[in-house]
Amino acid sequence: AQSVTQPDIHITVSEGASLELRCNYSYGATPYLFWYVQSPGQGLQLLLKYFSGDTLVQGIKGFEAEFKRSQSSFNLRKPSVHWSDAAEYFCAVGAHQAGTALIFGKGTTLSVSS
């Protein structure tokens, strides 16, 4: 079955500390992988995406993610978290095919402590 697992429901990180959000996927085809961020009551904003090539991808707001095919993982990282990074983060997977619907994980809520 195709699925995305985000093992951590809620993470709290101190401001200035590093962050890693985990994402594991199960997908039959070669995957497109995405990370989105959502502020309360808002839509989702794309942070970064992986289609092919370099397995370390850079995104907006200083985020990066690494695709590890052998581990079926696409973990999101940031070296130094800012209070404004507090939000909900979603990992998603889709196929290399136009119009294919993405499958989303259940999300990880990030809190930032001062």
Partner 1 sequence: DGGITQSPKYLFRKEGQNVTLSCEQNLNHDAMYWYRQDPGQGLRLIYYSQIVNDFQKGDIAEGYSVSREKKESFPLTVTSAQKNPTAFYLCASSPTGGGGYTFGSGTRLTVV
Residue 98 CB contacts under 8 Å (≥ 6 apart), including other chains? none
Contacts to partner 1 from residues 38-57, by CB under 8 A: 41-46, 49, 51
Name the residue nearer to partner 1 (CB basis): 27 or 104: 104
Closest separation in Å from C-beta 33 to partner 1: 10
**If DSSP states are collapsed to H, E and C, what string results for 29-54?**
CCEEEEEEEECCCCCEEEEEEECCCC
Closest separation in Å from C-beta 35 to partner 1: 10
Name the residue nearer to partner 1 (CB basis): 15 or 75: 75
Query: 103 by DSSP, 3-state: which?
Result: strand
